[in-house]
C-alpha cells in the first residue's frame, strides 16, 4: 500500500493498518479507551462483505463518529477484489467471493488468493475503477452503505483522499 501513500502525497497523513479480525470485533476494539482513534481527523474502515450483511458494522461506525472525527465504513461486495479488478476492467456479475477472486487473479496475473498486489498494479486507474466497480447502469452506493453485488464504496474513500 506504499504506492497509495505516495499518490496521496504529503498534504494528508495516511495511516494504514491491517487486521484479520471480523468487523464488529474491530469496532469493539476502537471503542476502548486505549484506542488511539481520537488521534485521527477521520477514520475509514474497509471490510469485505464475506457473505454477511454489514448493516450492523455500518451502524457501529456511525456511532463511533463524532462531529470532529467521522468514522466511515467501506464495504466491498462480495470482496475487495471487486475494487482491484475494476482497475483493470469492468467488473462482472460475480456469484460469490470465489468468482470475484478468480476473475481478479486472471486479469492481474496473480495466484488466486494472493494478498499482495502485483508490481505493475495500475494505481493510476482510480478514476476508471470508480466507474467500473459496479455493473453498468447501477448507481454508485452512497457513503456508509452496503451496495449490491458486485459493488464497493471505495470511491468515497478515494475522494476523501483527494484522488478523485
Residue 80 above 80 pLDDT?
A: yes
Spatial CA neighbour of 48 closest among 7, 86, 19, 15: 19
Q: What nine digits make up the cell of 104?
A: 481478479
Cell of 37: 482513534
pLDDT for 138 beyond 80: yes
Question: For 21-71, how does the pLDDT look when each residue is reduced to its tens digit (9 = 90+)?
Answer: 899 999 999 999 888 888 899 999 999 998 899 999 999 999 999 999 999
Query: Mean pLDDT in the chain?
Result: 92
Q: How confident is the model at residue 146 (pLDDT cuts 50, 70, 90)?
A: very high
Domain segments of the chain as ranges: 2-160
Amino acid at each position: 500500500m506504499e504506492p497509495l501513500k505516495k499518490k496521496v502525497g504529503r498534504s494528508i497523513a495516511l495511516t494504514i493498518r491491517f487486521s484479520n479480525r471480523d468487523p464488529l470485533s474491530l469496532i469493539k476494539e476502537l471503542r476502548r479507551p486505549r484506542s488511539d482513534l481520537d488521534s485521527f481527523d477521520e477514520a475509514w474502515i474497509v471490510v469485505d462483505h464475506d457473505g454477511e450483511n454489514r448493516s450492523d458494522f455500518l451502524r457501529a461506525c456511525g456511532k463511533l463518529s463524532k462531529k470532529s472525527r467521522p468514522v466511515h465504513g467501506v464495504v466491498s461486495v462480495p470482496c475487495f477484489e471487486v475494487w482491484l479488478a475494476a482497475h483493470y476492467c469492468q467488473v462482472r456479475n460475480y456469484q460469490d467471493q470465489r468468482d470475484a477472486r478468480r476473475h481478479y487473479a486472471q486479469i492481474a496475473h496473480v495466484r488466486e488468493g494472493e494478498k499482495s498486489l502485483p508490481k505493475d498494479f495500475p494505481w493510476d486507474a482510480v478514476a476508471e475503477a470508480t466507474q467500473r466497480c459496479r455493473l453498468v447502469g447501477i448507481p454508485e452506493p452512497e457513503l456508509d452503505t452496503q451496495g449490491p453485488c458486485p459493488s464497493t464504496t471505495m470511491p468515497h474513500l478515494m475522494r476523501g483522499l483527494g484522488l478523485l
